[in-house]
């Protein structure tokens, strides 16, 4: 990870430490509301029915917590791809409050009910595990199982990482933080080390809770992910 990335990790960890009593990164019980930010993805051209399918499978950082429908990761990632001349349909499969265990339980359902076999799954879970103090061994096992399922189905993956809050202690961090890079290496998948890199360090890109990106922050994330998505999609290189 770049030096700036490590700085982002540290600052995000501090924010998490302050906000950990919330217990979950965008709890499922928290109603979604539109932000005042006007950085919603602009409507692009119609996407062909046979366009490659990208499924964005994660928690509130994927689901668009407190954002308007076009401001979340899936629509903004699709807009970033379109701007680069890449035709793809990005499906939002983010659920606020999801742990890796919850994601593991619903992954098969999402894949089985997709209109077509995904050309790529962007996978990002584990933040809520960390906030709840769930054992890193469980987080690792659940992510491992999801990656194994995707490998079995021959679906490429882009894995996005998370970091542990410093107040959880060095032992927890040493067990949690390497999970993503270890599994990315094990399965040979694309890897984006920290989902909020270059976002969490700028308050103008974050919601008031200092844990979730606003619409402009999601734009930065989408622009960071787009090149990796493009590399993984057929006929885009």
What tens digit of pLDDT does each residue of 171-211 get?
999 999 999 999 999 999 999 999 999 998 899 999 999 99
Task: Using a pLDDT cut of 70, give the percent of the chain over it.
Answer: 80
- 83 neighbors 227 (Cβ within 8 angstroms): no
Give the pLDDT mean for 35-50: 59
pLDDT (tens digit, 9 = 90+) per residue, 103-125?
Answer: 999 999 999 999 999 999 999 99
Catalytic residue among 98, 190, 197, 212: 212
Catalytic residue among 8, 37, 60, 190: 60
- Per-residue pLDDT tens for 73-95? 999 999 999 999 999 999 999 99
Query: How high is the pLDDT of residue 63?
Result: 97
- Rounded (10°) CA dihedral 214, 100, 171, 15: 10
Q: Among this protein's residues, is 60 annotated catalytic?
A: yes
Least confident of 10-14, 18-22, 192-196, 202-206: 18-22
| CA dist list (Å): 194 to 86, 113, 149, 224 | 24, 29, 23, 11
Ramachandran angles phi, psi of 156, nearest 5°: -60, 155
What is this structure's pTM? 0.85
Higher pLDDT, 25 or 122: 122
Q: Does domain 3-26+51-128+141-232 have CATH number 3.40.50.1110?
A: yes
Residue 37 has pLDDT above 90, yes or no: no
Q: What whole-number percentage of the chain has pLDDT above 90?
A: 74
How many other CB atoms are found less than 10 A from the CB of residue 142? 23
pLDDT for 44 equals 57
Q: Where are the domains of the chain?
A: 3-26+51-128+141-232
Print the SS3 string covering 93-157: EECCCCCHHHHHHHHHHHHHCCCCCCCEEEEECCHHHHHCCCCHHHHHHHHHHHHHHHHHCCCCE
Q: Look up 32 and say whether it is catalytic.
A: no
Active-site residue 96, yes or no? no
């Amino acid at each position: 990870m770049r030096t700036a990335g490590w700085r982002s990790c540290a600052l995000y960890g501090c924010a998490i430490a302050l906000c950990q009593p919330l217990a979950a990164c965008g709890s499922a019980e928290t109603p979604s509301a539109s932000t005042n930010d006007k950085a919603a993805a602009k409507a692009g051209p119609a996407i062909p029915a046979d366009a490659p399918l990208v499924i964005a499978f994660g928690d509130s950082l994927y689901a668009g917590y407190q954002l308007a429908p076009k401001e979340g990761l899936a629509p903004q990632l699709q807009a970033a791809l379109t701007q680069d001349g890449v035709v793809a349909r990005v499906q939002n499969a983010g659920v606020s409050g999801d742990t890796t265990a919850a994601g593991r339980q619903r992954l098969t359902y999402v894949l089985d009910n997709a209109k077509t076999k995904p050309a790529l799954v962007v996978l990002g879970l584990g933040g809520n595990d960390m906030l709840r103090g769930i054992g890193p061994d469980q987080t690792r096992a659940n992510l491992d199982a999801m990656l194994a399922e995707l490998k079995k189905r021959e679906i490429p993956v882009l894995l996005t990482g998370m970091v542990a809050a410093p107040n959880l202690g060095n032992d927890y961090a040493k067990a949690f933080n390497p999970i993503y890079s270890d599994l990315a290496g094990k399965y040979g998948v694309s890897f984006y080390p920290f989902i909020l890199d270059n976002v969490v360090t700028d308050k103008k890109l974050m919601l008031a809770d200092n844990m979730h990106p606003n619409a402009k922050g999601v734009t930065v994330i989408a622009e960071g992910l787009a090149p990796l998505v493009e590399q993984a999609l057929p006929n885009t290189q």
